[in-house]
Chains A and B, each alone.
Chain A
Amino acid sequence: MKKIIFTIGITGILALTLAFTTLTVNKLVSKAGHINFFSHTAIEDITADNFKVVSTLDTETGIVVYSVPMQGFEFEKALMQKHYNSSKFLDTKKFPKAKFKGKIMNITDINFDKEGTYNATVKGEMTLHGVTKAITETAVITIKGNKVIVETKLKLTLSDYNINFKKGKPSTNIAKTIDVTSKSEYIKED
C-alpha cells in the first residue's frame, strides 16, 4: 500500500515538473517594448511612439506574438493624436489592440546561448484596425549577456488595413505607406 502511494506521489511530482518546465522554460516575455511609426510626405513628417508593447518569444518553436495597446501612441501634437484615435482613422475605442502573431522561420539558426547578432525571417499575421493580413518580414535578434533584443523595421500600407484618407488634409499630409520600427528586450532566465 505504502509503495503504491509512493509511486503515485513520485509520478505526480514528475508529471508536474515536466508540465511546468515545458510551459515556462522557452517562452520569453517583454511587457515594455517600443514601437515607432513614421510617415513622410513633402508637406510634413509625422511620428508617434508607444512604449507599452507586450510580446512573447518562444526560443524553441520560434513563435512570436506582439500585442499593441493602440491608445498608447503618443504624438507631438494633441490634435493629431485625437485624429489618429478617432473612428475615421484607427478607431482605437473599437479596436483597442493591434496584434502580430508569427513564427521565426529560421529559428534553428539562432543560438540563444551564444552572444551575437542574427538575422531572422518572420512569417505571420498582422491584425490592425480589425483587418488581418499575412506578412513576411525580417528581424534582427541580438543576444547580449542575459538579454535578447528583437528589432524590426517594416513598411505598412494603410489602405491594406482599411485606413483610407480620400479627402482633405490627411490625404495629402499622411503617407500611404508608413515605416514601423519595433524593439523588444527580453531577459533570459538562466
Chain B
Amino acid sequence: MKKRFIKWGIIIILSGLIIGGGIIFYMFNQPHRNIQAITSDYQMKASTLVKDYLTDATLANEKYLQDDGESKIITVTGTIASITEDLNQQQVVLLKGKNEKAGVSCTFTSETNGNTKNLKIGETVTIKGVIRSGAGYDEDLELYEDVILEKCDVVNN
C-alpha cells in the first residue's frame, strides 16, 4: 500500500516537472508573432494614423504601442510616394500624400519583398504591418519623421 503511494507520488512529480519544464522551454523559445496571420487591431487611412500622431503623440503612443514591444497590428491604405530598399535588403514602401508633412513607412520582409514588385508610385495600396514608432517633427533632425510599420505585406482586397 505504501509502495504504491510512493510510486504514484513519483509519477505525479515527474510528469509535473516534465510539463513545467516543457512550458518554460516553450516560453523561452517561443516564436515571434506572425504579424500577417493575426487580425489587425486597426484598419485606417495612412493619413489618419499620421494625423493621430501629429495631433497628440503621447496619446497616440498610448493607443498604438504596447509596453512589451508587441505593439498594434495596423492595416493602412494610402498613396505610394516611394519604394526603396534598406540595408537589410528589405523593401520600404512610403505611403504619403503630396501635401502631407509625414507618411507611413512600411518595411517588408525577405518573405514578402516580392509582393512590392508590381507596386507603382502614385498608386493606392493597402498594407498590413506592426507599428514600431510614430510620426512627428523632430527639431534636431529638422524634419518630420514617418510612422514606421515593419513585417509588412500587401493586403489583397
Using a CB–CB distance below 8 Å, which chain A residues touch chain B? 27, 29, 31-34, 49, 51-52, 54-56, 65, 67, 69-72, 77-79, 81-82, 84-87, 91-94, 96-97, 99, 101, 183, 185
Q: For B69, give its contact among A56, A84, A94, A183 (CB under 8 Å).
A: A84
Contact present for B87 and A69 (CB under 8 Å): no
Q: Which residues of B contact A84 (CB under 8 A)?
A: 69
* Pairs across A and B, CB under 8 Å, 22 listed: A32-B85, A32-B86, A32-B92, A33-B87, A34-B87, A51-B107, A52-B105, A54-B141, A65-B141, A67-B145, A69-B132, A71-B65, A77-B29, A78-B31, A79-B28, A81-B32, A81-B69, A85-B69, A85-B70, A93-B67, A97-B133, A101-B140
Bound CA span A83–B105, Å: 26
| Contact-residue size bin, chain B (C-beta under 8 Å from the other chain) | 35 or more
**At the interface, yes or no: B66 with Cβ under 8 Å from chain A?**
yes
Closest to B134 in A: A96
Assuming the contacts A32-B92, A34-B88, A69-B133, asked whether A56 and B142 have C-beta atoms less than 8 A apart, the reply is yes
Main secondary structure, interface of A, reads strand
Q: For A78, give its contact among B30, B138, B140 (CB under 8 Å).
A: B30
Contact present for B68 and A85 (CB under 8 Å): yes
- Looking at B31, B105, B107, B133, the one whose CB has the most chain A CB atoms below 10 A away is B133
Listed from nearest, the 3 A-B pairs whose CB atoms lie closest are A85-B69, A69-B133, A32-B86
Interface 0/1 of B50-69, CB less than 8 Å to A: 00000000000100011111
Q: Which residues of A contact B133 (CB under 8 A)?
A: 52, 69-72, 96-97
Contact present for B71 and A71 (CB under 8 Å): yes
Contact present for A96 and B141 (CB under 8 Å): no
Q: Which residues of A contact B90 (CB under 8 A)?
A: 51
**At the interface, yes or no: B153 with Cβ under 8 Å from chain A?**
no
Bound CA span A97–B134, Å: 9
Bound CA span A97–B140, Å: 13
Closest to A63 in B: B140
Q: Which residues of A contact B61 (CB under 8 A)?
A: 93, 96
Q: Beyond the given A31-B92, A52-B86, could you list 4 further A-B residue pairs with CB under 8 A, ordered by the A residue number?
A: A70-B133, A71-B65, A77-B28, A97-B133
